[in-house]
Amino acid sequence: MKDVVLTGDRPTGPLHLGHYFGSLANRVKLQDVHPMYVLIADYQVITDRDLPGRIQRNITELLLDYLAVGLDPAKVTIFRHSAIPELNQLLLPFLSLVSVAELQRNPTVKDEIAHSSQRAVSGLMFTYPVHQAADILFCKGTLVPVGRDQLPHVEMTRLVARRFNERYGEVFPLPEAMMGERPLLRGLDGGKMSKSRGNAITLSATEEETAALIRKARTDPDRLITFDETHRPEVANLLTLAALCLGRSPQDVAEEIGYGGAAALKRLVTEAVNEFLRPIRKRRKEHSEQDVRQILAEGDERARERAVVTLDEVKAAMGF
């Protein structure tokens, strides 16, 4: 049986290089090998914020990012939570299989709560991992390209699938996580690279914006540039970013810079990132908002057809 890939993002802002090297690059490779569903998780935007913000604009920008990195809507199904009620209905039986304590222990939920803009934690936040299980299992997903911080969600999905199968009969496969080349690329301030923390280089950033962000990146006063993730994490992170963009090792990049110091390091990183993003920026400009609307309409229809079949199987297994 051929593997089915499920992946996606919340439309909370533009995607960045952390997304690319952590997951997007894998998606582009996998679309030629496996059936793939790419979720725009618009309902999950309200897990950690009071209002969805510029939701329609963010959905458009997210899809443009997908097209820019090379995802092909002729090969993959791109769809939205809000367009697939049958997927969301799976949340109810799945929640009955998971304890409150198991939801509270989820490390990704803990991190999201710590950085939430809400004054109080919503019930939806705690169901976030189970909703992701519904995202993966509605299409019988077996491969999930993720960054390291999303691994607990894949484990939760496996738990839900296993318990459902044990209680009601074999319906769901147990999905596997697929890690990217560099699952956790740190932000320019040394912390986790994140849209909400303003420390990321977005895929849609201009050359000037990219250069300005890298100029502000943290380094250290030592003029000899070396790759040492333990004692020089900020410098090591910039070297890693350049190396990923150049297809070289960070040690090799450090050797090239030598005693050039932070200025030479940032100059090389800026050139490497801008050169890497050039074809992505070009592809982004080739698509219109009309393209986006058409792609979403077709993807939503295909995803809903799949969700209806799965929900019918679940109801039959449960005796409804």
Residue 168 has pLDDT above 90, yes or no: yes
Task: State the amino acid at position 33 in one-letter form.
Answer: V
Round to whole Å and give the CA distance between 158 and 136.
10
Lowest mean pLDDT among 50-64, 130-144, 214-228: 50-64
Residue 211 has pLDDT above 60, yes or no: yes
Residue 157 has pLDDT above 90, yes or no: yes
**Helix or strand (DSSP H, E) at 253:** helix 250-257
- Predicted local distance difference test score (pLDDT) of residue 300: 98
Confidence of residue 206 (pLDDT cuts 50, 70, 90): very high
Give me the helix-helix angle, 55-69 and 261-285, nearest 10°: 100
Instruction: Indicate left, alpha or beta for 317 from its phi (over 0: left) and psi (-120 to 50: alpha).
Output: alpha
Residue 182 has pLDDT above 60, yes or no: no
- Predicted local distance difference test score (pLDDT) of residue 46: 84
Lowest mean pLDDT among 46-50, 68-72, 79-83, 141-145: 46-50
Kindly provide the b/e burial profile for residues 110-137, where b requires at least 16 CB atoms within 10 angstroms of the residue's own CB.
eebbeebeeeeebeebbbbbbbbbbbbb
Residue 88 has pLDDT above 90, yes or no: yes
Name residue 79's beta-bridge partners: 39
Confidence of residue 183 (pLDDT cuts 50, 70, 90): very low
Mean pLDDT of 151-166: 94
Mean pLDDT of 110-137: 82
Residue 120 has pLDDT above 90, yes or no: no
Mean pLDDT of 195-223: 89
Round to whole Å and give the CA distance between 143 and 176.
5
Domains of the chain: 5-183+289-318 (3.40.50.620), 205-284 (1.10.240.10)
Taking only the tens place, the pLDDT of each residue in 261-308 is 999 999 999 999 999 999 999 999 999 889 999 999 999 999 999 999
Kindly provide the b/e burial profile for residues 206-235, where b requires at least 16 CB atoms within 10 angstroms of the residue's own CB.
eeeebbebbeebbbeeeeebbbeeeebebb
Residue 157: helix, strand or coil by DSSP? helix
Q: Considering the chain, what percentage of its residues have pLDDT values greater than 70?
A: 93
Q: Counting beta carbons within 10 angstroms of the beta carbon of residue 241, is it exposed (0 to 12), middle (13 to 18) or buried (19 or more)?
A: buried
Mean pLDDT of 3-30: 89
Residue 181 has pLDDT above 60, yes or no: no
Mean pLDDT of 41-49: 85
Please answer whether residues 207 and 282 qualify as being in contact, where contact means their C-beta atoms are separated by less than 8 angstroms.
no
Number of Cα atoms under 13 Å in the Cβ half of residue 77 = 23
Residue 235 has pLDDT above 50, yes or no: yes
